[in-house]
Amino acid sequence: MGIIKMMIVDDDALIRDSLQLILDMEDDFQVIGTATNGQEALVLCEKNLPDIVLMDVRMPVMDGVLGTRYLREKFPGVKVVILTTFKEENYIKEALKHGASGYILKSQPADSIVETLRSVAKGSMVLEAEVANSLTSFIDDRQKVDPKDFQLTVREMAVLELVGTGFSNREIARQLHLSEGTVRNNVSALLDKLSLRDRTQLAIFFLKHF
């Protein structure tokens, strides 16, 4: 993997500068721009497209949830990681619904933030554990059942565990010595058996039940 081009979006100058300093110390990151709100981020993306946008939630003019929605609609190849001090469930759900690839807290250590960004760059979806555990109602109450009832195969359980720990299909294929197509088929089978909508819900299902 080459250089990961980053954009930092936060209305707090100290946070922006601190994050840029952290990322500038890493050989595989390049901060190509900073912005103070979602609208500025959209304008900057027009000029210089990043690989990942690290986006605060609460900002003036355009907040991070709306910024994520518009950015993902206009630049679908750009990944967004939500960075915030807030753990409110509605923010988490909205950001994920609009295509955020990760949601981490500003209280995380610097090395943890860096590793999260590297994982996202490789195609994984990453949720900080404390955030994931707060998603108590992201999955419908009707789905809160004993996982043993679903008669998952050994391979499906292995795939579910790797999805739940943030691996991409390519990484799962490598770990289990399968083709990516087989992994995709297993993910589809899991969604059907567990009556879930998407990969995010699969990950949260695993975290809640296992």
- The strand pairing partners of 126, in sequence order, are 102
Q: Please, are residues 121 and 162 in contact by the beta-carbon 8 Å criterion?
A: no
Look at residues 82, 117, 125, 83 and name the one whose alpha carbon lies nearest to residue 101: 125
- The strand pairing partners of 35, in sequence order, are 9
Residue whose token pair is 């992201």: 138
Side chain identity, residue 90:
N
How far apart, in Å, do the first and last CA atoms of the chain sit?
32
pLDDT per position as a tens digit, 19-55:
999 999 999 999 999 999 999 999 999 999 999 999 9
- Split at pLDDT 50, 70, 90, the class of 60 is very high
pLDDT at residue number 134: 59
Look at residues 78, 135, 131 and name the one whose alpha carbon lies nearest to residue 103: 131
- Mean pLDDT (the chain) is 84
Instruction: Phi first, then psi: give them for residue 157, nearest 5 degrees.
Output: -65, -40
pLDDT at residue number 185: 94
Position 133 pLDDT exceeds 80: no
Q: Is the dihedral of CA 2, 41, 104, 124 positive or negative?
A: negative
Domains assigned to the chain: 4-133 (3.40.50.2300), 141-209 (1.10.10.10)
pLDDT per position as a tens digit, 76-92:
889 999 888 766 667 77
pLDDT per position as a tens digit, 166-199:
788 888 898 899 999 999 999 999 988 888 877 8
pLDDT at residue number 142: 42
Show the tokens assigned to 125: 């979806």
pLDDT at residue number 95: 78
Residue whose token pair is 């059907």: 192
Q: Is 2 left (phi over 0), alpha (psi -120 to 50) or beta?
A: beta
pLDDT at residue number 59: 92
Alpha carbon 8 to chain centroid distance?
15
Instruction: Phi first, then psi: give them for residue 112, nearest 5 degrees.
Output: -70, -40
d(CA 203, CA 142): 17
